[in-house]
Chains A and B, each alone.
Chain A
Amino acid sequence: MSRVLSLHDVVKHYGSVKAVDGVSFEVNAGKITGLLGRNGAGKTTTLRMITGVLRPDRGRVELFGAAVEGARDRLGYLPEERGLYRKMRVLDHLLFLAEIKGRSPASMRPAAERWLKRFELSEKKDSKVEELSKGNQQKVQLAGALLFDPELVVLDEPGSGLDPVNVVLVRRLLRELAAEGRAILLSTHQMGEAEKLCDEIVLVHAGMVVRSGPLAEVKASGGRDAVHLEFTGDGAFLAEHPAVASARIDTNRAELSLAPGADAQELLAAAAVRLRVLRFEVVAPSLEEVFLEAVGEAAPPEVAA
């Protein structure tokens, strides 16, 4: 596993506002790394420093062991605010996007045609960009970020603006790219989406990294395991059990969160003595819960659809 990108204590101010405040993390080849946080957490600013659009006020960004400027041609970028030249023809535009990455347009033509075919846009290759639907424009832009075979792909909110079918298509595509050994860095505020897709997680809040590491580790780092129980009998006693921190008990089911260090097995044993257990499930905490705990807030954030 080789390191593709590393950030060392990166800081960026906008006037007096500190948008990014000492961020450090790494991105490795063959992995999908998710940069997670709410709107305004500093995700886009961080990505812009990685892609060389902004320069950090302090700290260092290393791409392939060198400064960003020297390695931009090995990086594909899908910015948060999508944009293409509206009057350009689709194929011309793709070739232009490859050319500004230092590739010769002639050599990129087959790749461009291949990507258009994959995104089912082959018939549109001579249309002007503005004649395409918004979703199709997004796909053209994604193709532009990928067609020149970048080793690192940076995507700012790749799912936004796509319909569910295309979200699945993109998810499968990213998996494939990672399997080919490319490094993927994406930002999102949708924790559920990240949980399905990412190998590595970097949780940011207010410009700072609050948790980072492999998905499983991050999830294990906080939140509590919960037990979902279905039974017949009177389950009221479960709330008093030492392994249970808090409980919500209905007639035939209970959702219990475990006390720190408690063993779910003990609880099962205790339940089996007095109840007829129909279902017993230990549920790992969601990323959402880990995030909320790390940020120190109980109320769930508003999540945009």
Chain B
Amino acid sequence: MRKLWAVLKREYRETVRKPSFLIMTVLAPFLMGALMLVPAFLASRGMGERRVAVLDGTGRLRAAVEGLAGEAPGERSAFARGRGTNVPTGRIVPEYVDLFTVDPKNAVGPYLERLSVERTPKERRLDGVLLVPADAFERPLTHLTYFSRSAADLLAQERLGRAVNRALQRERLAARGVAPAELELILAPLPVETVQVTKSGQERRGGEGSFVLAMLFLALLFIPSLVYGQEVMRGVIQEKTDRVVELLVSSMTPMELLSGKILGMAAIGLTQMAVWVAMGGAVAAAGLSEARSAGFDLSSVLRPSIAVWFVVFFLLSYLVTVGVYAAGGAIVSSEKEAQQVLTPVMFVFLVPWFLMMPILTNPDSTLSVVLSLVPIYTPMTMFIRLLVSEPPAWQVALSLVLSVATIAGLLKASAKVFRAGLLATGKRPTIPELWRWLKEA
């Protein structure tokens, strides 16, 4: 035990002292944040402003069109609420043109001219022209025409269309004698709110946010495991090439050596996680209140029990991954070779990542249940299920037992491969040779 501790301590101390550890620990949250925020930022900027001329043949849509200007980017009007699109759409700057008295056919030309990038100065340039025919109120089968430089300018088109249609509906109803006070009531759509009913009959709201959250958690479960798995592998290979390993093996059992290394790495991972949690705490708190004001109540997803499960599954994921990488390091003789061997292994580990959507949307399907019971997939899959659903206690218990048993078995097998592989720095062993190592040691 003391030797295990010695190895653990050494791994920990030597890793934490490395500049790369400090950099990774301090910078990773910023990188991660940047990774998530930059695309959103770019997207909303890319949408930017849309200058759109609405050529109104009816002459009665001024209020509706100019109302569009008041909508902030990404903000959804009270009516649009619950319609689903929460993608930022950028600001629409409408330019209302009353064509009631003019023949639209002749008036459109100059506006279309202003769509052209070459012939129009930037201040006057239009991004779109929406033509509302004069008979829009009378003839139900007519249509709106949207002229734009880009055929895929779907969002602006959709929003414009919706606003104009709403105004048309209102006008039509008003024309048929509906009182203005009742109009809002008649036209108000009903938002859909997701309520998860738990086994104990409790109700949980705010499931919409769990997708993003699941992504974040999975990344946190997975990425450090992989990073430190490779670190352990590199360490083992280094010990082989530096020839330290003979001293180590002559002083302790391979099991002590391996456990010490893996637990040392787990301690490093937990340290890093603690730093990240501390750093992210403030940001997350701000994020939560923001999310709540935007209509998501994440506190129902971020329950205290989830924190506990996260630590449990983080450790499991860590131990399994690091164990596999350590054994890999013992088998191969150089890092280059290791990459070849372990790239396919990584894809096997990544399966739940690719299957996240089906698991998230259907956490109790056969696929989800089976995956969550396969030890190397347990950490990620079972954690998603716990996050968004309520898997039966026996399944959780079984998955934990299987995982722990697998880790123990993996450690044992790795220790055997370790002893045989450590001194063999020549060529990579064949499968039969590996099998012999497993039986022999």
| C-alpha gap A87/B423 in the complex (Å) | 21
| C-alpha gap A40/B250 in the complex (Å) | 21
Asked if A54 contacts B252 (CB within 8 A), the reply is: no
Asked if B250 contacts A52 (CB within 8 A), the reply is: yes
Asked if A262 is at the interface (CB within 8 A of a chain B CB), the reply is: no
Asked if A84 contacts B14 (CB within 8 A), the reply is: no
Give the contacts of A95-113 with B (CB-CB under 8 A): 96-97, 99-102, 105
Asked if B212 is at the interface (CB within 8 A of a chain A CB), the reply is: no
Asked if A100 contacts B6 (CB within 8 A), the reply is: yes
Of A53, A82, A101, A102, the residue contacting B249 (CB under 8 A) is A53
Stretch at the interface among B60-68, B119-127, B238-246, B327-335: B238-246
| C-alpha gap A102/B250 in the complex (Å) | 13
B13: which A residues are within 8 A, CB to CB?
92
Of B9, B243, B253, the residue contacting A83 (CB under 8 A) is B243
**Closest 8 interchain pairs by CB?**
A83-B243, A99-B6, A51-B250, A100-B251, A81-B243, A79-B246, A83-B244, A83-B242
| C-alpha gap A97/B7 in the complex (Å) | 10
Asked if A85 is at the interface (CB within 8 A of a chain B CB), the reply is: yes
Asked if A175 is at the interface (CB within 8 A of a chain B CB), the reply is: no
Q: Could you give 29 example pairs across A and B, Cβ below 8 Å?
A: A51-B250, A52-B249, A52-B250, A53-B249, A53-B250, A54-B423, A69-B253, A77-B246, A77-B247, A77-B250, A79-B246, A79-B247, A82-B243, A83-B239, A83-B242, A83-B246, A83-B247, A85-B14, A85-B239, A87-B14, A92-B13, A96-B10, A99-B2, A99-B6, A99-B9, A100-B7, A102-B2, A105-B6, A144-B247
Taking the closest CB of chain B, its distance from the CB of A235, in whole angstroms, is 56
Asked if A88 is at the interface (CB within 8 A of a chain B CB), the reply is: yes
Asked if B3 is at the interface (CB within 8 A of a chain A CB), the reply is: yes
| C-alpha gap A232/B245 in the complex (Å) | 63
Asked if A81 contacts B246 (CB within 8 A), the reply is: yes
Asked if A58 is at the interface (CB within 8 A of a chain B CB), the reply is: no
Asked if A97 contacts B247 (CB within 8 A), the reply is: yes
Asked if A114 is at the interface (CB within 8 A of a chain B CB), the reply is: no
Q: 1/0 contact trace for A112-150 toward B, CB 8 Å?
A: 000000000000000000000000000000001000000
Asked if A79 contacts B251 (CB within 8 A), the reply is: no
Closest to A144 in B: B247
Asked if B248 is at the interface (CB within 8 A of a chain A CB), the reply is: yes
Q: 1/0 contact trace for A147-163 toward B, CB 8 Å?
A: 00000000000000000
A100: which B residues are within 8 A, CB to CB?
3, 6-7, 247-248, 251-252
| C-alpha gap A144/B244 in the complex (Å) | 12
Asked if A85 contacts B244 (CB within 8 A), the reply is: yes
Of A55, A72, A87, A105, the residue contacting B250 (CB under 8 A) is A72
Total number of A residues with any Cβ neighbor in B under 8 Å: 29
Instruction: Kindly list 8 other residue pairs between chains A and B, CB separation below 8 angstroms, not including A53-B250, A77-B246.
Output: A51-B246, A72-B252, A73-B251, A83-B247, A85-B244, A87-B14, A100-B247, A105-B6
Asked if A3 is at the interface (CB within 8 A of a chain B CB), the reply is: no
A83: which B residues are within 8 A, CB to CB?
239, 242-247
A86: which B residues are within 8 A, CB to CB?
242
B2: which A residues are within 8 A, CB to CB?
99, 102
Taking the closest CB of chain B, its distance from the CB of A20, in whole angstroms, is 15
| C-alpha gap A83/B14 in the complex (Å) | 17
| C-alpha gap A105/B239 in the complex (Å) | 21
* Candidate in B245, B252, B441 with the most chain A CB atoms within 10 angstroms: B252
Asked if B3 contacts A85 (CB within 8 A), the reply is: no
Of A69, A88, A102, the residue contacting B3 (CB under 8 A) is A102
| C-alpha gap A105/B3 in the complex (Å) | 11
A96: which B residues are within 8 A, CB to CB?
6, 10
B249: which A residues are within 8 A, CB to CB?
52-53
- Which of under 10, 10 to 19, 20 to 34, or 35 or more describes the interface residues of B? 20 to 34
Closest to B245 in A: A83
Taking the closest CB of chain A, its distance from the CB of B194, in whole angstroms, is 53
* Candidate in B6, B239, B250 with the most chain A CB atoms within 10 angstroms: B250
Closest to B260 in A: A100
| C-alpha gap A55/B250 in the complex (Å) | 11
Asked if B247 contacts A72 (CB within 8 A), the reply is: no
Closest to B3 in A: A100
Given contacts A100-B6, A100-B251, A100-B252, contact A53 B246 (CB under 8 A): yes
Closest to A88 in B: B14
| C-alpha gap A105/B246 in the complex (Å) | 21
Of A55, A72, A88, A92, the residue contacting B251 (CB under 8 A) is A72
A82: which B residues are within 8 A, CB to CB?
243
Closest to A97 in B: B247
| C-alpha gap A51/B14 in the complex (Å) | 27
| C-alpha gap A99/B4 in the complex (Å) | 10
Closest to B243 in A: A83
B9: which A residues are within 8 A, CB to CB?
99
B251: which A residues are within 8 A, CB to CB?
72-73, 100-101
Closest to A69 in B: B253
| C-alpha gap A53/B441 in the complex (Å) | 11
Q: 1/0 contact trace for B81-99 toward A, CB 8 Å?
A: 0000000000000000000
Taking the closest CB of chain A, its distance from the CB of B6, in whole angstroms, is 4
Taking the closest CB of chain B, its distance from the CB of A68, in whole angstroms, is 9
Taking the closest CB of chain B, its distance from the CB of A186, in whole angstroms, is 16
Taking the closest CB of chain A, its distance from the CB of B42, in whole angstroms, is 41
| C-alpha gap A199/B6 in the complex (Å) | 37
Closest to A102 in B: B2
B10: which A residues are within 8 A, CB to CB?
85, 88, 96
| C-alpha gap A305/B249 in the complex (Å) | 30
Taking the closest CB of chain A, its distance from the CB of B35, in whole angstroms, is 31
Q: 1/0 contact trace for B215-256 toward A, CB 8 Å?
A: 000000000000000000000000100111111111111000
Asked if A84 contacts B253 (CB within 8 A), the reply is: no
Asked if A53 contacts B423 (CB within 8 A), the reply is: yes
Closest to B240 in A: A83
Asked if B242 contacts A85 (CB within 8 A), the reply is: yes
Taking the closest CB of chain A, its distance from the CB of B436, in whole angstroms, is 10
Taking the closest CB of chain A, its distance from the CB of B12, in whole angstroms, is 12
Taking the closest CB of chain B, its distance from the CB of A107, in whole angstroms, is 12
A72: which B residues are within 8 A, CB to CB?
250-252
B14: which A residues are within 8 A, CB to CB?
85, 87-88
| C-alpha gap A86/B6 in the complex (Å) | 18
| C-alpha gap A100/B251 in the complex (Å) | 6
Taking the closest CB of chain A, its distance from the CB of B33, in whole angstroms, is 31
| C-alpha gap A79/B423 in the complex (Å) | 12
Taking the closest CB of chain B, its distance from the CB of A210, in whole angstroms, is 26
| C-alpha gap A54/B10 in the complex (Å) | 25
A55: which B residues are within 8 A, CB to CB?
441
| C-alpha gap A79/B248 in the complex (Å) | 11
A53: which B residues are within 8 A, CB to CB?
246, 249-250, 423
| C-alpha gap A101/B7 in the complex (Å) | 11
